[in-house]
Amino acid sequence: MNDLNQLFVYADDVDLIENDIDAQQTNNDVLVEARDEIGLQVNINKTKYMITKRKTGNEGNKNIRIRNEVIEKVNKFKYLEAYVTSKNEVTEEIKSRLVSRNACFYSVQKLLTSRLISRKLKLKIYRTVILPVIFYGCEN
C-alpha cells in the first residue's frame, strides 16, 4: 500500500471542492474508483454536496451521483464545529456561537452568583469554563 492509500484508509471525512458540478462529478468518480481499489465504503446517507457560489450557474437539474445513487444537495452544513453555507454567509455561524456561549454562561450562573463561593474561585471558574467557550475558534 502506498502512502496515499494509507491516508484514505484512516480518513473519516473527505472534502472535494470544485468550481463546477461536472468537475465535482468527475472527482467523485475518481474517489469511487480509488475507494473500490482499497476497500473503503462511502455512506450514501451521510454524503452531501453543496454549490458555493453567490450566483448559481446553469447547474439546473444536474445531480451528483455515486454509482447510480443521487447525493443529497444541501445549502448549509457543519464542519469542524463551524457552519458552512452555500452563499458563504456567517450569520448561521454567529448564531451558533452565541447559543453555545449563552448555554455555557447560564450553566454556571448559579455558581457565579452564589455567596458561598469566594471571588477567587468564581474568577477561576470564569477563566477555565466560560472564556475557552467564548474564544473557541478565535485567532490570537
Q: Mind listing the pLDDT tens digit for each residue in 107-134?
A: 889 988 999 999 999 999 989 988 888 7
Rounded Cα distance, 114 and 124, in Å: 14
Q: Residue 24, exposed/middle/buried by CB under 10 A (0-12, 13-18, 19+)?
A: buried
- Angstrom CA distances, 109 to 8, 94, 112, 129, stand at 45, 22, 5, 11
Structural domain range at position 114: 91-135
Residue 25 lies in a domain: yes
Read off the pLDDT of residues 4-43 as tens digits, 9 standing for 90 and up: 444 444 456 666 667 777 888 888 888 888 877 877 777 7
Residue 22 lies in a domain: yes
Query: Averaged over 91-99, what is the pLDDT?
Result: 79
**CA 65 vs CA 4, 8, 22, 29: distances in Å:** 24, 20, 11, 8
Residue 70 banded pLDDT, cuts 50, 70, 90: confident
Q: How many domains does the chain have?
A: 2
Distance CA 29, CA 65 (A): 8
Residue 56 pLDDT > 70: no
100 and 54 in a common domain: no
Residue range 91-114: average pLDDT?
Answer: 84
* Residue 86 in domain: no
**Looking at the predicted structure, is the pLDDT value of residue 83 above 80?**
no
**pLDDT for the residue numbered 5:** 45
Do 24 and 56 lie in a common domain? yes
